[in-house]
Amino acid sequence: MKEKVAVIIFNWNGKSFLEQFLPTVIKYSGDAQIIVADNKSTDNSLSFLKQGYPTVSIIELAQRYGFAKGYNKALKEVEAEYYVLLNLAVEVTENWLNPMV
């Protein structure tokens, strides 16, 4: 089934940012699918996500592609009506997503 909104966060060795900002993204994103596209991190980001956030979908890229190419590779794996590309170090607030949708 195609999701209405997918929030895609591109990650490369950003475990500390995920720890800090992912909880509010999850809390304030309603029914949106939360996806982290990982660009071959070496800082335990993936194990942190898998252990602590089972509701977050993970796209593990096969190699480091860089920002633009990495996002493009990840987007090919996501089906949604709307895509939100969210920077790893952004703190969202309540109702941040609804006005855009």
Per-residue confidence (pLDDT) for residue 2, from 0 to 100? 65
Range 3-86 has CATH code 3.40.50.11540: no
Give, in order, the Cα–Cα distances in Å from 11 to each of 16, 38, 66, 101: 11, 5, 10, 24
pTM above 0.75, yes or no: yes
Q: How far apart are alpha carbons 7 and 57 in whole angstroms? A: 10
What pLDDT shows up at residue 81?
Answer: 94
Per-block average pLDDT, block size 10, for the chain (101 residues)? Answer: 87 97 97 96 96 97 92 95 95 94 88
- The domain segmentation of the chain, as residue ranges, is 3-86
Do residues 32 and 55 touch, judged by C-beta distance below 8 A? no
